[in-house]
Amino acid sequence: MNRELGWIASGCFALALLNGCASAPEGSSGAAQAPQMKVYELADVQVIPKVAYAVAPQYPFTLPTHGIHAEVILWAVVHADGSVAEVSVESSTNDEFNQSAIDAVKQWKFLPALRNDVPVACRIRVPVEFNKPRPKSR
């Protein structure tokens, strides 16, 4: 069974593939901290998160017409309510695009992963692609 979800958009938009989930570190370093929520692996959920709402990343204003193509690979946790948190960069072809990719993905909403028909948190890999902005129509 193919467990990848593809989402493609044009222009300066994102390409997001849910390649899987990974466990978050477990345990707490002190009694005063709240216990960490369990973050499941893809193999441990019956339904993977699906993009419900996506915001296009902004092409960095410092590179408006240079025609630079970039891809930023992010890790993000999709919470049981579909919100996104704990976004970090795995790799990037151009660091000038990292913050724009992070800012956009933090605004995305998902249908959450399900485990035993209960929404759960899941860590996903999200590639975000940037293409040269299209000229504005006159």
Domains present along the chain, CATH in parentheses: 6-21+37-130 (3.30.2420.10)
Type of residue numbered 130:
F
Strand pairing report for 70-78 and 118-130: antiparallel
Phi, psi (deg, nearest 5) at residue 100: -65, -40
Question: pLDDT 10s per residue in the chain (138 long)?
Answer: 333 333 333 333 334 444 454 433 444 344 455 567 899 987 899 999 999 999 999 888 777 666 788 999 999 999 999 999 999 999 999 999 999 999 999 999 999 999 999 999 999 999 999 987 666 666
